[in-house]
């Protein structure tokens, strides 16, 4: 972005006279005083900490102006200030203004799992023809989405936004904020079921992403999910489905997977083999979702195939790494829910190895009253003939350990560690690993298996 302060003041309807600072050039926005760059507009958010207290630090790091909540004490007189009722709402209003100004086509992606991978695939496909800007990291909420919008260049033609949710109404707000041209739901799983209670209610909340969809827009979803099929009937806009049934608009046919890639054909393009640099047949759905977007925007099949073969995946999403002993490590530690954990386990257990397969699984968080049942259900995806070691870490995952140990076949494979025993688990794990082994790391981000990964890479 590049705007003068006067334009920003007008866009957010600042309450104070900023005429003496009107020509100040703003090149970015930032709410973290430690991470902004020179030319930034500082956004002092009020939460557990009060962002206003960090203005001095923001100025030291290059901020050239700031929002300021009206009536908040300590307002500076020697620095460009825009007085607003609420800095967060002002950020969102500015993003909406800038979005209209740049006027890209907007693609909004959500889902209980796969939304980041799908977002990355969509961006790769559309970059074959357009100037594309996409969500970075986990900037997918009421703060992250506006920040993403304001970080795009003025020549952006396509904006691919990942949208997360942990409560009803959140996706409705984000969808209404950006008014997408295309909305996409990857799947309905159990993520955040603690807050919603049932998958039906999760589906209701996910469908909110269509609330701001333009009248001539498209809704893309997994046609194999009855909860989405049922709710899609209430959406009047154009629709496309993907999945493994002939009734889907995009249907996977042959699927071949190896450690480093998955290849597949589609009924629509039966003579063409698509390949993605990812393990697991479950990622084919994500690829089909991205191809659906490419079809709408008239990307040639050959271009989509090239893009998918070389796309860059966001860190720690089914990422293969090499440990200090030479072992292969499949890092999938950003997030976890039962559906995703079963899928990656199934794929990992089919990876050809000369050594052993070892799975390190941690708690899946935000499962509420169903936590014990859902953790226990992961046992259906574990095969003792395929896994030599199963390391279970955390307090929520204990029911899975108990379930596995009831079966004599599993007992020698299962090693359980409480949340307070992470270092003990790491020590025992490192001692057991051989150079030809393959190790899977999978848990919710809050379990910090990145610390386990770091030790494996340093061992």
Please report, in range form, the residues annotated as the binding site.
Answer: 111-117
Spatial distance between the Cα atoms of 346 and 361, rounded to a whole number of angstroms? 13
Residue 143 near residue 45 (C-beta atoms within 8 A): yes
Look at phi and psi of residue 153 and say left if phi exceeds 0, alpha if psi is from -120 to 50, else beta: beta
Chain-centre distance for alpha carbon 348: 21
Tell me how many degrees the CA angle 211-214-217 measures, rounded to the nearest 5.
Answer: 105
Q: Which H, E and C letters describe 38-98, residue by residue?
A: CCEEECCCECCCEHHHHHHHHHHCCEEEEEEECCCCCCCCCCCEEEECCHHHHHHHHHHHH
β-strand partners of 357: 438
Q: What is the Cβ-side half-sphere exposure of residue 406, based on CA atoms within 13 angstroms?
A: 7
User: Strand, coil or helix: what is 401?
Assistant: helix
Q: Please name the helix (run of DSSP H) or strand (run of DSSP E) that holds residue 376, with its range, or none.
A: helix 371-377
Spatial distance between the Cα atoms of 348 and 245, rounded to a whole number of angstroms? 24
- Binding site for ATP: what residues are annotated? 111-117
């Amino acid at each position: 972005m590049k705007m003068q302060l006067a334009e920003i003041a007008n866009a957010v309807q600042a309450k104070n006279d900023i005429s003496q600072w009107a020509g100040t050039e703003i090149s970015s926005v930032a709410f973290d005083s430690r991470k902004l760059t020179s030319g930034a507009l500082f956004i002092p958010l009020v939460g557990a900490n009060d962002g206003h207290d960090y203005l001095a630090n923001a100025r030291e790091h290059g901020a050239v102006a700031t929002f300021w909540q009206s009536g908040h004490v300590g307002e500076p007189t020697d620095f460009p200030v825009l007085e607003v009722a609420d800095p967060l709402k002002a950020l969102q209003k500015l993003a909406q203004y800038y979005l209209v100004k740049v006027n890209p086509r907007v693609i909004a992606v959500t889902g209980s799992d796969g939304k980041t991978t799908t977002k990355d695939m969509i961006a790769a496909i559309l970059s074959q023809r357009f100037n594309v800007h996409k969500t970075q990291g986990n900037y997918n909420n009421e703060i992250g989405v506006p920040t993403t919008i304001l970080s795009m260049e003025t020549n952006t033609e396509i904006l691919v936004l990942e949208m997360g949710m942990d409560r009803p109404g959140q996706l409705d707000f984000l969808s209404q904020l950006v008014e997408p041209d295309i909305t996409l739901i990857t799947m309905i799983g159990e993520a955040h079921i603690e807050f919603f209670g049932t998958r039906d209610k999760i589906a209701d909340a996910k469908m909110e992403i269509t609330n701001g969809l333009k009248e001539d827009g498209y809704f893309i979803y997994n046609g194999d999910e009855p909860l989405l099929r049922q709710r899609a009937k209430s959406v009047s806009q154009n629709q496309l489905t993907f999945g493994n049934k002939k009734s889907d608009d995009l249907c996977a046919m042959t699927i071949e997977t190896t450690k480093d890639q998955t290849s597949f054909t589609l009924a629509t393009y039966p003579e063409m083999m698509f390949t993605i640099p990812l393990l697991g047949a479950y990622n084919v759905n994500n690829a089909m979702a991205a191809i659906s977007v490419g079809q709408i925007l008239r990307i040639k099949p050959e271009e989509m195939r090239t893009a998918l073969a070389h796309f860059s995946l966001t860190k720690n999403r089914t990422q293969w790494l090499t440990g200090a002993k030479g072992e292969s490590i499949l890092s999938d530690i950003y997030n976890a829910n039962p559906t995703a954990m079963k899928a990656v386990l199934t794929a990992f257990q089919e990876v050809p190895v000369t050594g052993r397969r070892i799975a390190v699984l941690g708690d899946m968080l935000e499962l509420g009253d169903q936590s014990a049942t859902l953790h226990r259900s992961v046992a259906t995806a574990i095969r003792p003939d395929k896994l030599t070691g199963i390391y279970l870490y955390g307090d929520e995952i204990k029911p899975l350990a108990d379930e596995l140990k009831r079966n004599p076949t599993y007992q020698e494979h299962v090693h359980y560690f409480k949340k307070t025993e992470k270092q003990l688990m790491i020590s025992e794990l490192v001692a057991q690993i051989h150079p030809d082994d393959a190790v899977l790391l999978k848990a919710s981000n809050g379990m910090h298996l990145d610390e386990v990964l770091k030790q494996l890479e340093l061992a």
